[in-house]
Chain A
């Protein structure tokens, strides 16, 4: 409990650091909301026109005033207004987040459902041709860029079979579950493919390590069945690196999968942040980066807590 409280207490500090970093970083990039909107035509503005647009975009004040206003707003639950959407930043983020969360969960399910059995199988058949086969496939999976796989899937489906999930308008899960799944399954496979490959490799090597441990040998010599050795004795310990990897990957996916969202035209967080950066929608970039950082910290915390469940020897927060 103590540990949990102490970890939670660090959250505001980390978020403060992130807020400063993102605030400074986005402003260090040349160009601003005005050039993003007008492009080269911004050169035709008179100084008065420019000032009036700067006031409209809220970039007429010195940076520390802007920062102070932004942070002050956040403390009151106000993340600012997105100039692109003309709506509160938090509303826009929360509208996009369910898709990103669902996509991340689906890809993780695919990755674990495929990667775990494959990894365990490879470890128990170590150095046999089937192990080699799994390792080669995993290597291919890890080295295939998601845009190649995504475009291949889209091309094969549309050119070869004349079918494709409806693109453009996204159906939320609670409105039309079937349509929603049909739109998300291919992106989830695209993301889950490389993810599954990493899980396979980690699961295999962790399992190999554990299988050579003394306690596993003892269990075997006591006559435990092969199945029981793997599932009851070895697997829980082999899971720790898999949980770590899945946690990190899942955390990344919660920040949005930009490339896959681009290819499949999914209105997720990743595309939203990318568009916001390109359009210099400062409030939206800042708000969403904070939101993503917060999610990442929560996932990390859950991963740490999961260790305790998996290995009773681990006591969090104790020296």
Chain B
């Protein structure tokens, strides 16, 4: 068999060589990039798919951005200020900021963009983060004042998301946002062939200065092993990788470099506290104590990541060893089960999405074997992503393996689940007064040190009441030729720093 395969391969090579197949050399001017999943649309206010956001961040700009340490830095706005009572937020816009059609970015565009986001008819993904906006004033073309109905500190971080991008008021009026991409970012979209490729060219008018490359060509190569192969032959300069199995092969290739950084998104085992016996605190805590998070990480994700508590934002996260039962304690777990009257265990179903994350099935299996030790019999049900999302949104599961997105601010990240009015309360199915009041306090507190203390308490309490079992954050991976310089990986996964990368010959 091997002999035959070798012959077939060799004949393939011969034919390929005869047909003039050759390595394509890297060009200095254009960055050739690849990813396995393409963007799903161009409307910055509606898109939530990872690839869409990464693409749109290169074309559109929000008022502010976050840097690699998640500090707020200028984008379209050069400065900003909260009023003393925290109910007024004023931005000064960059006079150099221009849309790619040549018109200046003015306060009218900012107002129109936020009105579009707040309009229910738009179906904007981030609308829930901006509900405290009562009105927007535009005293002059370079100044915008947001009047808030209540103090809302996290709104500034929410504004750094490309889901809050500023689009031209004229495009909103024409109804062409989503069909035409006119932003003020470093690159212009010249061509988009869905699920095949994107061609971007440098925006010479970009207020942020000259870009390091003349353009970016993004190819959709659905198989990540093929992406790696294309990088070996130097067809691709830069790639996004999801699969840890492929990513760990990158450092073995001379000429290639792997960038990895822990992300804000977290892998979690969601329990459904509205279903028996997870209604019982002791049962949930027993599950928390019975799970060895490091083992889940080591086995399912090859150790590529780090164990985390509920907060994944580096500046705010508590050391996980300080949290409830983060060191596996089987005796305690069994004792808690017995106290809950379930010494013999129980049966439950855990759902997971195929391929999202790629480690979902493996995580479910490790957890299944760990929980078996306290008598919990888990039945694993893997589903296609959309089917899973449907069940997840209805809260129709006993337990769910999930990869939930993170945000740069804990309130924006968790108010949907852990406040009494959270839109995803029916997914979380658990709330108590402590969680709710700590979230409200954190929202209004402007002093960073006090905020940190509030959210530390929030995190400790959440881990203790264990509605979910937080497992680990994985790494986001990018692979690049060593000739590519200047890329800065960040916990949000943004590729914005591609605007300043250069390719050395």
Contacts and interface: CB of A to CB of B under 8 A. Distances in A.
Contact of A164 (B4, B23, B405, B427): B23
B230 interface: yes
Q: Most chain-A Cβ atoms within 10 A of its Cβ — which of B19, B22, B221? A: B19
A186 interface: yes
Given A31-B389, A36-B386, A185-B16, A157 B1 contact: no
A86 interface: yes
Nearest to A36: B386
B233 A158 contact: yes
Contact of A44 (B24, B125, B225, B404): B125
A154 B225 contact: yes
A168 B221 contact: yes
B486 interface: no
Interface residues of B, number: 72
Contacts of B223: 151, 262-263, 265
B251 interface: no
B195 A272 contact: yes
B23 A157 contact: no
A42 interface: yes
B15 interface: yes
B358 to A, nearest CB: 15
A195 to B, nearest CB: 13
A52 B389 CA distance: 20
B219 A265 contact: yes
A31 B24 contact: no
| From A41, A156, A157, A189, residue with most partner B Cβ within 10 Å | A41
A278 B385 CA distance: 8
Interface of B: 1, 4-5, 8-9, 11-13, 15-17, 19-24, 32, 34, 38, 40-41, 46-49, 120-125, 127-128, 179, 193-197, 217, 219-223, 225-226, 228-230, 232-233, 235-236, 384-387, 389-393, 402, 404-405, 416, 423-424, 426-427
Query: Which 4 A-B pairs have CB atoms at the shortest separation, nearest pair first?
Result: A168-B219, A31-B386, A158-B229, A30-B390
14 contacts: A29-B384, A31-B387, A34-B123, A37-B41, A39-B389, A40-B427, A45-B123, A49-B121, A149-B8, A165-B16, A167-B219, A263-B222, A265-B219, A267-B195
Interface of A: 29-32, 34-46, 48-50, 52-53, 56, 84-86, 137, 140, 144, 149, 151-159, 161-170, 178, 181-182, 185-186, 189, 193, 262-265, 267, 271-272, 275, 278-280
Given A163-B233, A168-B236, A271-B195, 5 more contacts: A43-B424, A44-B424, A153-B12, A164-B21, A263-B223
